[in-house]
Amino acid sequence: MTRRIVLLVYPGFQVLDAAGPLAAFEAANAFVPNAYLLELIARDGGLVASSGGTRLAATAFSNRAGDDTLIVTGGDGVFAAAECATTVGFVSNSGAALRRIASVCSGAYLLATAGLLHGRRATTHWRRSQDFARRFPDVQVDADRIFTRDGKVWTSAGISAGIDLALALIADDLGETVARQVARQLVVYYRRPGGQSQFSEMAELQPAGGRFAALLDHVRSHLRDRLDVDELAGLARMSPRNFSRCFAAEVGVTPARAVERLRVEAALAALESGARSVQEAAREFGFADPERMRRAFMRTLGVPPSSRRRAPG
């Protein structure tokens, strides 16, 4: 059975949002010949300029039949596309007619505008999550997720997460073995689970020059310390109450949650490199014991530490 996968682009789309999934589905065809037909589509067709200026050729999306899956790409142009009644109408109709519909990154804005995410769980790039939740209060935003599936609708986080999404779609169609072969061919992890946190959010909790950037640098280099609110407030020379309020407003998470994420990030790197056992990582990165680290991993990544441990050598 050949499935036609179409990727919707528009002026200002992000190239990798299209190229990543295309590469994954193309690789799948090498292992299961003729599994997929791939096509870029746009409102008017022709050459469509990406946000970086590169132009890709697309087919006009009117009067289509036989498509299996629509993937809506993201990019800075998504907001203009979401104001186009023709584009929104096409996406809405596709949601009713096709077996499956998906978005990469800010492509979720188009799905939501078309009414396809009403009452559903969804994700998008972590930098867009708060704005997305404000614009679409009827959508349950999973801000930490790499990708989500709610019925026939799939959504994914930013840029490289489009490859994770494509691998999940391939596994859904052709099985885990093929998806694993595709990941190996692309030299990417097989497969980051959808519940795994968007690591860039932990790495960039506070941009350089932000009010609490120096404090978070201190936290990263002192993860074995207690690092409770009183200690952090003292380092920031603020009262604990005022510190907690200001930190959450500026960074987007509570101080305790930020510390936990940074501890998980450091422990994850050590486990995946094979440099530490679970017990050693729990001690080194400030978890009182392995069980507390396990609970933190489940909250942040959706998987236990043991699943990310690589044997040394």
Catalytic positions: 105
CA dist., res. 10 & res. 47, Å (int):
10
| Short-list 92, 227, 107, 94, CA closest to 158 | 107
Q: What angle do CA 306, 307, 313 make, to 5 degrees?
A: 80
What are the backbone dihedrals phi and psi of residue 13, each rounded to the nearest 5 degrees, phi first?
-75, 160
- Amino acid sitting at position 296: A
- Amino acid sitting at position 275: A
Cα 225 to the center of its chain, rounded Å: 31
- Check: CB of residue 87 under 8 Å from CB of residue 112: no
Q: What angle do CA 249, 255, 257 make, to 5 degrees?
A: 105
Token digits of residue 244: 């907690």
H-assigned helices in 187-312:
199-203, 213-221, 229-236, 240-251, 255-273, 278-284, 290-300
CB count in 10 Å sphere of residue 58: 23
CB count in 10 Å sphere of residue 56: 18
Buried b (16+ CB within 10 A) or exposed e, 102-126: bbbbbbbbbbbbbebbeebbbbbbb
